[in-house]
Amino acid sequence: MSSRRPRSVVSVAPGVVFVEGPVSNWVVLAEEDGVALIDAGYPADSDLVLDTVRWAGHDLGDLRRIYVTHGHVDHVGGIPGVLERHPHVQVLAHADELDNVRGPGRQQVTPAEIGGRLAAPRTLRWLARAIRSDALRPVTVPTARAFTLHDFAGRAMTPFPAVGHTAGSTAYLLPAAGAIVTGDAVVTHHDTQPRAWQPRPRMITPFFTADQETAVESARALPYPEVVLPGHGPAVHRVGSEWVPVAG
């Protein structure tokens, strides 16, 4: 069992469990031929990720693949720990994101850039949480491969390009669940944003994004079904003209 605690775990639709992790989020999916994850948190989240697969009612031996929204360490950091125990699990990402996923170098804010930002509100609080999550551990996922449309044939999900945050950021639409998994292309809240901000779809703090202008265009072009499952912040759904957190 992990000593880390998720902020919330929500059964969004049959076979779709959203985990708002300690700092970043992931999704557990039931697929016809086994279990899949979308993202896997920070390095320190590996055990918690596996705990949530079991919590969702699955056998860990049925874990088949991990789809990646993007290669930042708060989304792929937990993958090596999962692969250590389940080496047969496939890791799939957009071709343009492979370098970020495989690492160890990635398109991500550097410690020096973060150092220059420490005076910004809430940055220190976020950084402390990131470091406790093992953010500085070098993360490599050499077996990650580029997905093709063939990988989604017959599956209840469709990848959508959501570039800008990183070169190959991807969102995953789950039509049967009326949901989209957005990674950091769209978040609902982030620890660097004011606590008073109500969770709703919004851009992550631009500091974390490689190309903000492109990211804004991508976020506008995404489909928004009833439910948004973001990379940070709670899951939200539409109630009238409002976005409201999905109850856990």
CB of 190 to Zn ion, least distance (A): 8
Which residue of 39, 51, 74, 191 would you call a contact of Zn ion, by CB under 5 A? 74
Nearer to Zn ion, 70 or 237 (CB): 70
3-state secondary structure of 228: strand
Looking at 13-21, 57-65, 68-76, 132-140, which segment touches Zn ion (CB under 5 A)?
68-76
Q: Is 184 in the site for Zn ion (CB under 5 A)?
A: yes
Closest CA to 43 of 73, 69, 23, 2: 73
3-state DSSP: the chain helix, strand, coil percent, rounded to 5?
Answer: 30, 25, 45
Q: Does 72 bind Zn ion (CB under 5 A)?
A: yes
Using the rule CB under 5 A, is 97 a contact of Zn ion? no
Instruction: Please tell me whether residue 207 adopts helix, strand or coil conformation.
Output: helix
Q: Quote the CA–CA distance of 170 and 16 in Å, as a whole number.
A: 18
Contact positions with Zn ion (CB under 5 A) in 109-168: none
Q: Which residues of 68-81 are buried (b: 16+ CB within 10 A; e: fewer)?
A: bbbbbbbbbbbbbb
Shortest distance (Å) from residue 116 CB to Zn ion: 19
Residues 103, 231, 234, 245: which binds Zn ion (CB under 5 A)?
Answer: 231
Q: Which is nearer to Zn ion, 51 or 184 (CB)?
A: 184
Q: Where does this chain bind Zn ion (CB under 5 A)?
A: 24, 72, 74, 184, 231
